């Protein structure tokens, strides 16, 4: 079990673009294992490598139906629109209503380098988009729905990414 420190939005690394993963080796597997341990401890639903200071295109998502490891992920299809509350483990004590697609299809490699397709609707679609945004230096605070402002969640926000 190896935890890594989650970087906060005051850290400029969160605004940088991550590079593709090219080696599907033990270093990547360790990163993915550490992301899992760190997410589990933080009780979030998703975490991206740059949030632990690694500028590589790898994220994990777990909205309660199993852990997904997405390496070099890209959205290949999206439809619909949802306006839901969103938060981020790197942006503590703030939440906001964002606009995201209602359904997305994501193409990504697994930890062995094999390409897979994933589908997500609702929270899972929001989470896929949120994590992939992290790989391009984009935070949910950049995706607020028109007229929305950040607010302080009344109780502990469990849907953090
Ligand atoms: Co986040």
Task: Give me ligand 1 centre to Cα 141, in Å.
Answer: 10
pTM: 0.95
What integer pLDDT is reported at residue 122 of this predicted model?
98
Task: Give me ligand 1 centre to Cα 159, in Å.
Answer: 10
Task: Give me ligand 1 centre to Cα 89, in Å.
Answer: 6
What integer pLDDT is reported at residue 160 of this predicted model?
73
Overall number of domains in the chain: 1
Task: State which residues of the chain have pLDDT below 50.
Answer: none
How far apart are the C-alpha atoms of 24 and 21, rounded to whole Å? 7
Distances (CA, A) of 60 to 26, 63, 103, 145: 17, 10, 18, 25
Show the tokens assigned to 117: 């397709």
Concerning whether 22 is annotated as a catalytic residue, the answer is no
What integer pLDDT is reported at residue 159 of this predicted model?
65
Answer whether residue 79 is part of any domain: yes
Q: Tell me which of 131, 148, 154, 157 is the catalytic residue.
A: 131
Task: Give me ligand 1 centre to Cα 22, in Å.
Answer: 23
Q: Which domain covers residue 35, as residue numbers? A: 12-143
Answer whether residue 153 is part of any domain: no
Here the CATH number for the domain that contains residue 25 is 3.90.45.10
């Amino acid at each position: 079990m190896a935890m890594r420190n989650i970087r906060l939005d005051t850290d400029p690394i969160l605004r940088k673009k991550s590079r593709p993963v090219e080696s599907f080796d033990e270093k990547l597997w360790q990163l993915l294992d550490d992301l899992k341990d760190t997410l589990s401890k933080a009780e979030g639903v998703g975490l991206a490598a740059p949030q632990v200071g690694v500028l590589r295109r790898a994220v994990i998502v777990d909205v309660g139906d199993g852990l997904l490891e997405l390496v070099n992920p890209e959205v290949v299809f999206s439809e619909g629109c949802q306006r839901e509350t969103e938060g981020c483990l790197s942006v503590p004590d703030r939440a906001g209503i964002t606009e995201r697609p209602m359904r997305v299809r994501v193409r990504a490699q697994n930890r062995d380098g094999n390409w897979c397709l994933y589908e997500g609707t609702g929270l899972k679609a929001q989470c896929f988009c949120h994590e992939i945004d992290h790989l391009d230096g984009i935070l949910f605070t950049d995706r607020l729905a028109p007229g929305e402002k950040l607010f302080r969640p009344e109780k502990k926000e469990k849907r953090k990414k």
